Amino acid sequence: KFDRTPLIAGNWKMNMDHVQGITLLQKLAWTLSDANHDYSRVEVAVFPPFTDLRGVQTLVQGDQLKVVYGAQDLSDQDSGAYTGDISGAFLAKLACRYVLVGHSERRTIHGESDELLNRKLLAAYRHGLTPILCLGEGLEVRQAGTHVEHTLTQLRADVVGLTEEQAAELVIAYEPIWAIGTGEVAGPNDAQEMCAAIRAELVEIFGSSVAQKARLLYGGSVKANNVASILRERDVDGVLVGGASLDVAEFANIVKFES
């Protein structure tokens, strides 16, 4: 576990226009630099809306803020007649490090299939972006007790055709839909159960050295007061934070979690 740098990722979703986004990031930089705390042992990433990315790039480069950033989605295509879509090439040019792929809001609201998400993963790697693949079950599946099989089925379909090198770099976020934005947090045991199952599946598909390198995150109502117990789990290498990433003090306290 300790070779894998913990990743604390903030997904702003469709919040924060480019002016609000810059203000939030400046406050976050100030809060983190003010604290008498070494947060260099974690990687902090933010996922603003597309329209904020250029401003975020300028701020991060200018201030040498120790935050990396990425986009919330990308096209499976590189360029052409795809009105409204954003190419991974454009994101790479804005120095994005990461890109979210298959967030449950993309899967449900936009009907994104595992087949499409597989192409998006491959597109991310084509452009040198590290994908954060989001997986997880809804409430009905959880109640039926088939959540592990459901999530692993998504995983198997999404990673088709990845090389071992790509898979070792992959970040996977387990986000049970029933825990997103609901205040209902999966227990550390639930997060560990699923992350262990995902890692075991990665061993099956890509071998154990790849599986030991891939980072696995938990997401779903993560807050400053529950982050430490989740990150203590053996197979959980970070968190993907939605709502709480919009509150500077709360997000800073998540980054500063005490293990």
Nearer to ligand PEP, 133 or 222 (CB): 222
C-beta of 183: minimal distance to ligand PEP in Å? Answer: 8
Q: DSSP states of 90-137 as a string?
A: HHHHTT--EEEE--HHHHHHS---HHHHHHHHHHHHHTTPEEEEEE--
According to the annotation, is 62 in a ligand binding site?
A: no
Nearer to ligand PEP, 88 or 238 (CB): 238
Cα separation of 207 and 203, whole Å?
4
Applying CB under 6 A, among 166, 192, 221, 253 the residue interacting with ligand PEP is 221
* CB-CB contact of 9 with 132 (8 Å): yes
Applying CB under 6 A, among 65, 186, 240, 254 the residue interacting with ligand PEP is 240
The region that residue 25 occupies, defined by phi over 0 for left and psi between -120 and 50 for alpha, beta otherwise, is: alpha
How many positions of this chain bind ligand PEP (CB under 6 A)?
Answer: 13
Applying CB under 6 A, among 243, 251, 252, 257 the residue interacting with ligand PEP is 243
Give 205's Cβ-side CA count (13 Å radius): 25
Tell me which residues in 3-62 interact with ligand PEP (CB under 6 A).
11
Specify whether 150 is catalytic.
Answer: no
Cα separation of 211 and 205, whole Å?
9
Q: Nearest-CB residue to ligand PEP?
A: 242
Cα separation of 23 and 12, whole Å?
13
Specify whether 175 is catalytic.
Answer: yes
Strands 171-174 and 130-135: parallel
Of these residues, 43, 112, 137, 175, which one is catalytic? Answer: 175
According to the annotation, is 221 in a ligand binding site?
A: yes
Residue 222 interacts with ligand PEP (CB under 6 A): yes or no: yes
In the chain, the amino acid numbered 143 is Q
Scanning 35-43, 81-89, 188-196, 216-224 for contacts with ligand PEP by CB under 6 A, the matching segment is 216-224
- Contact residues: ligand PEP, CB under 6 A: 11, 175, 180-181, 219-222, 240-244
Catalytic annotation, residues = 103, 175
